[in-house]
Copies of this chain bind each other. A is one copy, B any other.
Amino acid sequence: MQIVTRVREMQALAESLRTEGKRIGVVPTMGYLHAGHLSLIELARRHSDSVITTLFVNPAQFGPGEDLDRYPRDFPRDQDLATRAGTDILFSPQTTEMYPAGYATYVEVERVSSILEGKFRPTHFRGVATIVTKLLNLTKPHVAVFGQKDAQQAFLIRKLAADLNFNLEILVAPTVREEDGLALSSRNSYLSPQERSRASALYRSLKRAESLIAGGERSAAAVRAQTMDILSRAQPTQIDYVALVRPDSFTEVETLTPPSVLVALAVRFGSTRLIDNMIIPFPESR
C-alpha cells in the first residue's frame, strides 16, 4: 500500500491510473477505522482496480463546540487495517494543504442540509459537500463508497454528484453492527461502559419500528412514539430527533406508504451524539 500525503501527488497518481485504464474506487473516511469502514473498502475493492482510502478529519464538517479536537486518531492502526482490507493508496492530506489560508469555496446542497442532522449541526453538511467535492477532484474515482449508517450524508452525496455532474457511481454499503445491534462508529469510543450498554436502545427502537410496520401500522406518529418510548427508557441525555422519511427524497411522511420508509434518529448519551437509521420495506413490497 502506498501512502500519499500531498495533494499534487494524489492528483497526478489518480490521473496516471486513469490513463492506464484502471478503474478507481474511493472510500472517504475520517480515520479511526472500524469494521464498518473495512466493509466499505472491501466493497470498493470488488468494484475497482485501484482502491484509494482517504483519511482526513475534515474541520469544515465540525461545528463550534463539536468534537473536532478530541476526534479519535490512530494512524499506524488505520494504516494496518486499510492495507489488510484491500486499500492500494492511503491518501492522508494535511489540513493546511486542504484548507490553505484564504480558503473560500464551499458547496451547499439546499434543503437536505438544513433538516434532521442539519438542524442540529448547521454547517455540517456544507463541510461534507465541500470535502467530498475536493476529494472527488483529487482522486478522480469511477466509484465512491459511503456507509448507510450516515443515511442523510449518503443521500446528500448522491444529490451533489448528480447536480454537479460528477461522472461516477456511488455505492452505499449496509451498516455494520455490534452483537447487540449498536451501529459501529468511531464515536462509540467516547461512551462509558454504562452508556455503551444503554446505547443498544438505538437498534432496539429501530427493530420496534420495523415490527410495527410489518404488523400493519401506517401512522408515522404512532411508529415515532413507540420508537421514542424505547429510546427514552434507556435514559439518554437527549433525543435530538426520530424521523420517518421517504428514502428517495428525505421528506418526512405522516402516513407510511410503500415501498419503504427510512427511520432515522439521533440520541445523546452524555456529550456523545449517536445516529442510526433503518430502511424498512413494506410487507407488500418485499
Which positions in A face B, CB cutoff 8 Å? 7, 11, 15, 18-19, 21, 103-112, 129-130, 133-134, 137-138, 140, 159-160, 163-167
CB pair A165–B7 under 8 Å, yes or no, is yes
Complex Cα distance A205/B165, Å?
Answer: 42
Cα distance A86–B106 in the bound complex, in angstroms: 35
Q: Chain B residues near A104 (CB, 8 Å)?
A: 109-112, 159, 163
Cα distance A11–B168 when bound, in Å?
A: 11
> Closest CB of chain B to A41's CB: distance in Å?
22
Residue of B whose beta carbon sits closest to that of A97:
B165
Copies in the complex: 2
Contacts known (A18-B18, A19-B21, A21-B19); A11 close to B108, Cβ less than 8 A: no
Contacts of A167 in B (CB 8 A): 11, 15, 137, 140
Chain B min CB distance to A10 (Å): 9
11 contacts between A and B (CB under 8 A): A11-B165, A19-B19, A104-B111, A104-B163, A105-B109, A106-B110, A107-B108, A107-B164, A130-B164, A134-B164, A134-B165
- Residues in B neighbouring A140, C-beta threshold 8 A: 167
- What's the least CB distance linking A98 to chain B, in Å? 8
Q: Complex: how many Å from CA A269 to CA B112? A: 42
A85 to B268 alpha-carbon distance, docked (Å): 62
Considering only CB atoms, which chain B residue lies closest to A138 in the complex? B165
Shortest CB distance A165–B (Å): 4
Contacts of A111 in B (CB 8 A): 104
Shortest CB-to-CB span from A117 to chain B, Å, is 16
Q: Which of A15, A159, A165 has the most CB of B within 10 A?
A: A165
Instruction: Please determine whether A137 and B112 come into contact, CB atoms closer than 8 angstroms.
Output: no
Q: List the B side residues contacting A160 at CB < 8 Å.
A: 105
